[in-house]
Amino acid sequence: MVGSSRFCTHAYGTCQSKNHLYFFMDYLQGGELRNLIVDRAPFTLRMIRFLCAEILCGLRFLHSKGILHRDLKPENILLDAAGHICIADFGLAVTNTSHKKMDVAGTIGYMAPEVMIQEPYSFAADYFSFGVVAYEMAVGKFPFKDDNVPSIVQSVSFDEPTFPRFMNADLKDFLQILLCKDQYTRQRMVQGLEHHPFFTGINWTDMEAGTAKPPFTMEPNPLTDVEDNAEKEVFLSSIEPQLPSPETKDIFHGFSFMSDRWREMKTPAEVT
């Protein structure tokens, strides 16, 4: 469902052996957004604007497909070598939701208030998570109390985040929209969010096409040859390609697949 979006991670295929399940996915050399936040936050205004614009493109695509992610956080936003984002980990995602009763799902601190108090919720919940991520990029810390789970729940539900005195006014307003406590007000305010003054200067055609250049450079992180890593070498050599065991073949029935994109890259002989 997300295969046509450049802002989501792609699975090219899956397969299984007797003891292992394998996922073949894009290699995103830049790693997690979390690492970038730890290393560089608070980001420059241009950097925040660019990353938020790409995240918005990704969310809009997901929601247009009826997909609610439910676990948007810096660890689930990956970066390629140039600094473009890819939303990852759809393990908690649901489809065809419209303010219906759903289970509490997500990561504490990034879940919207309506999710934590078990109200019916919809796509506005992803925007609250987006707001927490954007705040971390802008300020370099979590916007709410994070002493323990009860304090986080209490703070996310009732506390207003504090903003640095000299924060850009448009950025502050943008964050306040995303972190609005009331889901219905939040849903109304995020309509047409790409036209918010914070995004002044963004060429949305280039952004959607993935041709906009990130206003920052990534630290080089070359792919390491597994032969240079003794631990990986031992692990890989211990894997014996085998058919699933009788005990597991039914548990993971239907797990293995090959995407059309992967088929296009393989020769006919390899496909067969």
What DSSP letter does each residue of the chain carry, written as one string?
--TT-TTB--EEEEEE-SS-EEEEE---TTEEHHHHHHHHPSPPHHHHHHHHHHHHHHHHHHHHTTEE----SGGGEEE-TTS-EEE---TT-EES-SSB-----S-TTTS-HHHHTT--B-THHHHHHHHHHHHHHHHSS-SS--SSHHHHHHHHHHPPPP--TT--HHHHHHHHHHT-S-HHHHHHHTTTGGGSGGGTT--HHHHHHT-SPPSS-PPP-PPPPGGG-HHHHHHHHT----PPPTTTTTTTTT--EE-HHHHHHS-HHHH-
For CA atoms 6, 199, 159, 101, the dihedral sign is: negative
- Which one of 39, 71, 146, 206 is the catalytic residue? 71
Query: Does the annotation count 71 as an active-site position?
Result: yes
CA distance 77 to 88: 6
Please give the Cα distance from 105 to 70 (Å, whole number): 6
State residue 169 phi and psi, 5-degree precision: -65, -40
- Active-site positions? 71
